[in-house]
Structure 1
Amino acid sequence: MMNRKDVLLEQILCCHKKSHWFVSFEKAVAGLTPEQAIWKQSDSENSIREIISHLVFWNKRFLDRFKNSEIPKMEGNNDSTFTYLKESEWEQVLQQFNQVMTDWYETIEKSEDEQFDQYISGQSNETWLESISSITLHNAYHIGQNVTIRKLQGSWSKEQGLS
């Protein structure tokens, strides 16, 4: 029987590398070119690259908080997180997402079970268990957006995963 840590580890793994009920990040971006990563159907939408930038920002910020690291004051708002990695090359953007997901997995794996019952801050009534679970749902949502964008641009085939 899985304990709560095992459930969180499985959620992180499914978002990152293990396609399960939905396509993993690894599969969702496999073979994606830099040009495809910046493609938008309209200016009111985000590109895959922008979505990944947003995911890196929030995953890293919450991971640092979970590890009790210093968190800089947020500049801008949620919209600005979609351009957080604008100076990075496409491969660097992918590496940063992969690294933060690996760091999440390793950090959760080493964590004491009691840490999941702690509140994420003195101003929050959300525990780390609830927060990490929400983070993985947030990741899954945006990974699904990436697959949808690839379908719209014609760079997705059902052999890659869910059709």
Structure 2
Amino acid sequence: MNAKSILIDQLNACYHDKSWFIPLQDILKDLSAEQAANEHASKQSIWGIVNHLIFWNEKWLERFEVGNFEIDGEINNDDTFYVDPDTINDSEWNRTLQRLETVFRSWTVALEESDEFKLTSEIPSYYNAPWWGVVSNLSIHNAYHIGQIMLLKKTMQNQ
């Protein structure tokens, strides 16, 4: 097994492969827009966390595809959780879910088409971290937030 197959396995486990935890696709499939946008005591919503995951997965995918990049210090992480209250409807929620599916599918394709050299190459503008490490940490980030989403959903179901 090589780095590429391990990274693809990690991303798939986060999104759609049943493994150690319920994958994100399964957690989200029966939620309405209203349920997804509901803010809990933590002031977070499932929709907001999904937006955050989409933002960072798209951002790192873009960086991966471009190769050399500069880190944008202008990103306010809190803004990545934003849900526009004027667009809380099932149509927009379904668009959000489609974006989520697209970015996970795009990551799989990008990794399948990459070579091992790309994955072992270092990113000078990002602490000389190798790409395999960055993508692996992205999967850990995804898993962390999937756990939050699962807890929010269980809280909602128990109310």
The structure in which a higher percent of residues are helix is 2
Secondary structure, in 3 states, of the residue corresponding to 1:46?
Answer: coil
- Asked whether the 8 Å contact 2:71–2:126 carries over to 1, the reply is no
Q: Structure 1 unaligned segments of length 5 or more: list them.
A: 156-163
Go from structure 1 to structure 2 and tell me whether the alpha carbon gap of 1:82 and 1:71 turns closer, same or farther (over 3 Å shift). farther
Secondary structure, in 3 states, of the residue corresponding to 1:19?
Answer: coil
- Asked whether the 8 Å contact 2:15–2:24 carries over to 1, the reply is yes
Pairwise mapping of residues 1-163 of structure 1 onto structure 2 (< 5 A)?
2-42=1-41, 44-68=42-66, 73=72, 75-83=74-82, 86=84, 89-154=92-157
In percent, how many aligned pairs have the same letter? 34
Count of paired positions = 152
State the 1:74 CA deviation: 6.2
- Asked whether the 8 Å contact 1:61–1:71 carries over to 2, the reply is no
Alpha-carbon separation, structure 2, partners of 1:32 and 1:132: 28
- Asked whether the 8 Å contact 2:71–2:125 carries over to 1, the reply is no
State the 1:121 CA deviation: 3.8
So what's the TM-score if we normalise by structure 1? 0.85
So what's the TM-score if we normalise by structure 2? 0.87
Q: Deviations over 1:2-60 (max 9, x none)?
A: 21111001001111110200111111102111111011222x42100000000011000
State the 1:139 CA deviation: 0.5
State the 1:122 CA deviation: 3.0
For 1:103, the aligned partner's letter is: S
**CA-based RMSD:** 2.1
Q: Structure 2 unaligned segments of length 5 or more: list them.
A: none
